[in-house]
Amino acid sequence: MFALLALFSALAADPPAQAYGHEERRGTLECEQTDPCADVLPGAVRFVRVDGKPYAEGYDGEGRLVGWVVLSNDVVDIKGYSGKPLSTLVGLSQEGEITGGKVVHHSEPILLVGIPEQALQDFVGAYVGVKAGEPVAVGGAASEGGHSVDIVSGATVTVLAENRTILDSVRSLAEDVGVMERAPMVPGHWVEAEPPWTWAELEKKEVFGRLTVSQEQMGSTGEGYQDTRGTEPFVDLWFTLADAPQVGIALLGEHVYRRARAGLQEGEHLFVILGNGSSSFKGSGFVRGGIFDRIRVEQGLSGVLFRDVDYTNLSGSEAEGSPEFKEGALFITRGGQLDPGQRFELVFLGSRFDGKGAYSREFHTFRAEHRLPRSVYQLDGPDPESRIWRQAWASNPLKTAVVAAWLLAVAGVFAARRYTTARMERLKRLHIGFLLFAFLVGGLVLGVQPSVTQILTAVGSLVHEWRWGLFLSDPVLFLSWIFIAVVTLIWGRGVFCGWTCPYGAMSELLYKVGRLLRLPHFELPDPIHNRLRYLRYVILFGLIGLYLWDPIQGEKAAEIEPFKSTFFVSFWTREWYYAGWWLALAAGSLIYWRPFCRYLCPLGAGLAIPSSVRLSGPYRRDFCSKCKICTRGCEPRAIRDDGTIDPRECLSCMECEANWRDDQVCPPLVKTRRDRERAQELS
């Protein structure tokens, strides 16, 4: 059974020359070795890294400066749909215009297995000529003085993340090299609360960032190294901004806090570090030269170095319930370089003697990212970090409204099922109408096809890092999954699978076409059918395990779903195995009722599990255990021998409930009707 997953994973694997999706890009800009800098800065033939900066200058053949090149990884950390950044090279001219862009690495599943890579490169190419400070509208009309780029259909989240990656990278670069004025900080204010928080409250409210470096990470363990420190880390640093009184008074004590806060100038902040470990974060540079050489704070291309005049020694934390610390420091961030409303990084430069000489040392850099919680600092304007999902919701409100209305209509059919099941003809017309809408409008026009990849992403987020923004970033899918979750718990998975799934609708409609064409009809014997239906669960859990082991291969193996070839990429333009798989399933649907849904669909398996506890299934009578009228007409074969309905198999066609109400079909009702008619005749 696992062979099918292995086959798809192997067939979908990239060819050896593929430049995307295998090794995560973590390095820095290397124009002379691996990064094609000349591709994004035309006219430049020589590139020189700027000391202490994450970008390179590009010069032409006569030694004249052409512009600059930056690698997005060195400047921003904007995650795509995969939860990993899209490594992008961007060029900038001396006039402040983007001269080129190139994605050098990504892990986006939709581009690895569906949409051509060139679509993303073309999207990036649309930014050429855009000024660094110019607003860019993705998938909408440009504002006055702005620029517009098209959405890549089926990859909305990816292109929104790439848009931010390009603009944030080039704007940081433009500000640093002086071709654009530094963007003003988003206004915000410190939230002041009383009384001072305890240490437990500070931790619970996520006030601290934390940077822990182990002995192993520093290379201080292993063969030939005499480790006398046991399990003690090299450094364990807790850090935060302490301007808010509930934080500052808690950590510093009221006297030290009031005095430090009173001395702050505009744009300056209180930065607290508390540390344990076998090494010190203070170093010795501030003694010799007045500069703390072990630590610094970075935010984008801006950085804050601390001097001895910015420093007050702390013996520990004054907060109630605080652990013991070996050392601490209160620093003042000068120069207005730090925006307290945005993410920042504490950078630690660790060193140890490498044994190669009396004074020879080995250095390692470690980083920890932190953002103050809203209980400490609140923005008074829009949050830049929320713009991806906000922009997604604003980009196509009509599509979102249509999908919401469609799903509410389906829910209404089931909420009013006493009316909708009162007449079989009415129920069948409604069902056919919703199947046609699901396939033609929901699938082909709107591209609303939930997938097991969303289940895989959710599982990965639960295991690693949950990001609400990821799930909000596609409003249509978000609405679909809210709908799926609610209706599955109330009526079971059949509401989605049987009424709104675009691919399921296509498969059932093909079967009906096969009946009109008088094609042969096939059914598997019960012993085979009853065993084979468990295959979809094997596929689901196999995909989850593969995804947790290797997300890229998990996403590739998820192509067992033919959804992308149906609604996002024309199957005849794809590799032969994708096209062949799609054709085989479509042909099978003409002669067999929903073959993929019955036996192979991992999404259906994922929804079938919670369906076991659905709150409201079709109504049944004790007599149903003796009658086989509904059993013979049940296409998914969900009615057991005892007359009960298996909620994991039921696709909620509700025809059995229509029969249950029909005194022309249901034997107990037929008898009651005849008895009533005889009584009327006798009277």
In a domain, 673, yes or no: no
Cα–Cα distance for residue pair 533/538, rounded to 1 Å: 10
Cα–Cα distance for residue pair 266/270, rounded to 1 Å: 12
Instruction: List the single range of 123-137, 285-299, 318-332, 553-567 with lowest mean pLDDT.
Output: 285-299
pLDDT band (50, 70, 90) for residue 248:
very high
Nearest to 370 by CA among 230, 208, 212: 208
* Residues 206 and 353 placed together within one structural domain of the fold: yes
* Residues 194 and 253 placed together within one structural domain of the fold: yes
Beta-strand relationship, 361-370 and 302-304: unpaired
Nearest to 347 by CA among 299, 379, 405: 299
pLDDT band (50, 70, 90) for residue 19:
very low
Note the pLDDT of residue 22.
35
The average pLDDT across 600-612 equals 93
Q: Quick check: 166 and 127 in contact, CB under 8 A? A: yes
Q: DSSP label at 142?
A: P
* Residues 412 and 364 placed together within one structural domain of the fold: no
In a domain, 529, yes or no: yes
Q: Quick check: 83 and 460 in contact, CB under 8 A? A: yes
Domain that holds residue 167: 20-177
Q: Quick check: 310 and 339 in contact, CB under 8 A? A: no
In a domain, 630, yes or no: no
Where is the domain boundary, 549, 581, 613? 613
* Residues 203 and 167 placed together within one structural domain of the fold: no
- What is the pTM (predicted TM-score) of this model? 0.58
Q: Give tens-digit pLDDT for 496-541.
A: 999 999 999 999 999 999 999 999 999 999 999 999 999 999 999 9
Where is the domain boundary, 348, 381, 414? 381
How big is the chain by its Cα radius of gyration, in Å?
31
Tell me phi and psi for residue 171, to 5 degrees.
-70, -40
Exposed, middle or buried, 259 (CB in 10 Å: 0-12/13-18/19+)?
Answer: exposed
Note the pLDDT of residue 604.
93
Note the pLDDT of residue 120.
80
Q: Is the pLDDT of residue 568 over 90?
A: no
pLDDT band (50, 70, 90) for residue 184:
low
Exposed, middle or buried, 321 (CB in 10 Å: 0-12/13-18/19+)?
Answer: exposed
Cα–Cα distance for residue pair 293/36, rounded to 1 Å: 33
pLDDT band (50, 70, 90) for residue 8:
very low
Exposed, middle or buried, 320 (CB in 10 Å: 0-12/13-18/19+)?
Answer: middle
Tell me phi and psi for residue 336, to 5 degrees.
60, 25
Tell me phi and psi for residue 205, to 5 degrees.
-85, 5
Note the pLDDT of residue 337.
74
Q: DSSP label at 539?
A: H
Instruction: List the single range of 201-210, 238-247, 326-335, 374-383 with lowest mean pLDDT.
Output: 374-383
In a domain, 639, yes or no: no
Note the pLDDT of residue 529.
94
410-419 contact pairs (CB < 8 A, 24+): 410/434, 410/483, 410/487, 410/495, 410/499, 410/500, 411/483, 411/486, 411/487, 411/495, 413/499, 414/487, 414/490, 414/491, 414/495, 414/652, 417/654, 417/657
Q: What percentage of residues in the chain have a pLDDT greater than 70?
A: 82
Q: What percentage of residues in the chain have a pLDDT greater than 90?
A: 42
* Residues 291 and 216 placed together within one structural domain of the fold: yes
Q: Give tens-digit pLDDT for 77-114.
A: 777 766 678 889 999 999 989 999 998 887 766 554 45
- Which token pair is 32? 């002379």
In a domain, 677, yes or no: no
Three-state SS string over 404-433 comes to HHHHHHHHHHHHCHHHHCCCHHHHHHHHHH
**Can you list the alpha helix ranges (DSSP code H) found in 253-396?**
254-262, 285-288, 387-395
Q: Residue 412, by phi and psi: left (phi above 0), alpha (psi -120 to 50) or beta?
A: alpha
* Residues 351 and 484 placed together within one structural domain of the fold: no
Q: Is the pLDDT of residue 473 over 50?
A: yes
Where is the domain boundary, 358, 381, 404? 381
In a domain, 623, yes or no: no
* Residues 319 and 444 placed together within one structural domain of the fold: no
Number of domains in the chain: 3
- Which token pair is 106? 């990504």
In a domain, 201, yes or no: yes
pLDDT band (50, 70, 90) for residue 597:
very high
* Residues 197 and 234 placed together within one structural domain of the fold: yes
pLDDT band (50, 70, 90) for residue 359:
very low
> If you search the block for the tokens 């009277």, which residue do you land on?
683
Note the pLDDT of residue 301.
55
Q: Quick check: 76 and 44 in contact, CB under 8 A? A: no
CA of 222: how far to CAs of 3, 187, 212, 216, in Å? Answer: 41, 50, 19, 8
Q: Is the pLDDT of residue 495 over 90?
A: yes
* Residues 133 and 279 placed together within one structural domain of the fold: no
Note the pLDDT of residue 50.
87
* Residues 527 and 418 placed together within one structural domain of the fold: yes
* Residues 453 and 596 placed together within one structural domain of the fold: yes
Note the pLDDT of residue 632.
87
In a domain, 300, yes or no: yes
Note the pLDDT of residue 203.
95
Cα–Cα distance for residue pair 420/428, rounded to 1 Å: 9
Q: Residue 298, by phi and psi: left (phi above 0), alpha (psi -120 to 50) or beta?
A: beta
Q: Quick check: 497 and 449 in contact, CB under 8 A? A: no
pLDDT band (50, 70, 90) for residue 34:
confident
Q: Is the pLDDT of residue 459 over 90?
A: no
The four Cα atoms 466, 467, 470, 471 give a dihedral, to 10 degrees, of 70
The average pLDDT across 177-181 equals 81
Note the pLDDT of residue 349.
81
Q: Name the amino acid, one letter, at 440.
A: L
pLDDT band (50, 70, 90) for residue 16:
very low
Cα–Cα distance for residue pair 530/524, rounded to 1 Å: 9
pLDDT band (50, 70, 90) for residue 14:
very low
Q: DSSP label at 384?
A: G
pLDDT band (50, 70, 90) for residue 182:
low
Q: Could you please report the per-residue DSSP string of 654-672?
A: -HHHHHHH-TTTSHHHHHH
The average pLDDT across 402-424 equals 92
| Residue 350 or residue 642, greater confidence | 642
- Which token pair is 156? 């909305």
Q: Is the pLDDT of residue 145 over 70?
A: no
Q: Give tens-digit pLDDT for 626-642.
A: 888 898 889 999 998 88
Cα–Cα distance for residue pair 21/553, rounded to 1 Å: 10
* Residues 44 and 134 placed together within one structural domain of the fold: yes
Q: Is the pLDDT of residue 268 over 60?
A: yes
